[in-house]
A and B are shown apart, each in its own frame.
Chain A
């Protein structure tokens, strides 16, 4: 019975639910850790926790790249640019993690800091609007307005 039910669940839904559990729990364990380590030590230990996944993904990428045809000059250039942006994403994300953790260390509740920081798509949407010239749908404009309301309510 349980098996037939699990077969009906789409794979993408299982991965999505797993993401909610993993990220949702991350906020909790970060708050517990904030009681005993500063943001810098947390970043070091965080990276230690990331290391096994890094090794796995590095191995996967290496396996796939073995079967790939040799890249042309144009493709190599695009890859270098892509790697630059990915690296910058990691640096900004890491400094963001330091700030997230410092928010918890300085007394922010996990139940407030998590919803505040989860509003980060509002910045992405605004930047995409200005720099990537993407257009916003009506629903996204409503989301943007609600994000400001949420910030006000969570800040009081």
Chain B
């Protein structure tokens, strides 16, 4: 297995666990307060990284701007997803729609970075996005007899 794939699986598993922990949090506090503490945890993690990992610096302007933009885009994305749910969107529709985001990454990476996919990978990307949409469709609660 390629190293990158192992790291991608690790991200998939950790983010998957956050789906449960986030639910356990928002069952008790507002999504806004939950997001705030999520951000504080990011700050704490970064403090640990700074102390323990001894990161190597020596950076170009473009990569610095892109890395900073990454934090802003991901954080804002989480915030706009909360807003979508709070402004009357049905959770199953909003989350299914949002699951399309990798499609944009694929299109942008192919057009702007010149990445090429094999037909198997192209099919995999389509199946993955379909799977993510289907997984977000929770069954309707059972009617009381």
The CA-CA distance from A16 to B36 in the complex, in Å, is: 20
Complex partner residue of A113 from B8, B17, B81, CB under 8 angstroms: B8
Within 8 A of A (CB), among B37-56: 37-46, 49-50, 53, 55-56
When A32-B113, A41-B59 are in contact, do A23 and B74 touch as well, CB less than 8 Å? yes
How far is the CB of A113 from the nearest CB of chain B, in Å? 5
How far is the CB of B74 from the nearest CB of chain A, in Å? 5
Cβ contact within 8 Å between B135 and A144:
yes
Cβ contact within 8 Å between B27 and A127:
no
When A96-B14, A112-B121, A125-B135 are in contact, do A91 and B4 touch as well, CB less than 8 Å? no
List the B side residues contacting A64 at CB < 8 Å: 32
How far is the CB of B54 from the nearest CB of chain A, in Å? 8
Cβ contact within 8 Å between A116 and B84:
no
List the A side residues contacting B53 at CB < 8 Å: 40
Count residues on chain A whose CB falls below 8 Å from chain B CBs: 115
How far is the CB of B131 from the nearest CB of chain A, in Å? 4
The CA-CA distance from A128 to B135 in the complex, in Å, is: 12
Cβ contact within 8 Å between A48 and B68:
yes
Cβ contact within 8 Å between A54 and B16:
no
Within 8 A of B (CB), among A7-43: 10-13, 15-33, 35-38, 40-43
When A41-B67, A154-B128 are in contact, do A16 and B11 touch as well, CB less than 8 Å? no
How far is the CB of A96 from the nearest CB of chain B, in Å? 3
The CA-CA distance from A134 to B61 in the complex, in Å, is: 47
When A37-B59, A57-B35, A107-B2 are in contact, do A49 and B67 touch as well, CB less than 8 Å? yes
Cβ contact within 8 Å between B45 and A95:
yes
Cβ contact within 8 Å between B18 and A96:
yes
List the B side residues contacting A86 at CB < 8 Å: 21-22, 25, 29, 33-38, 41
**Least CB separation from A147: chain B residue:** B131
Complex partner residue of A93 from B15, B60, B140, CB under 8 angstroms: B15
Q: Can you name 24 A-B residue pairings with CB atoms under 8 Å?
A: A10-B87, A18-B77, A24-B103, A26-B73, A27-B101, A30-B66, A41-B57, A46-B68, A48-B68, A48-B71, A50-B72, A51-B71, A84-B25, A93-B18, A108-B8, A110-B105, A120-B15, A121-B19, A123-B16, A132-B20, A143-B131, A150-B125, A151-B124, A156-B120
Interface on B for A, CB 8 Å cutoff? 1-30, 32-46, 49-50, 53, 55-57, 59-60, 62-64, 66-77, 79-81, 83-85, 87-89, 94, 97-110, 112-113, 115, 117-118, 120-121, 123-125, 127-140
7 closest Cβ pairs, A-B complex: A123-B16, A90-B41, A24-B104, A49-B71, A124-B19, A12-B89, A143-B134
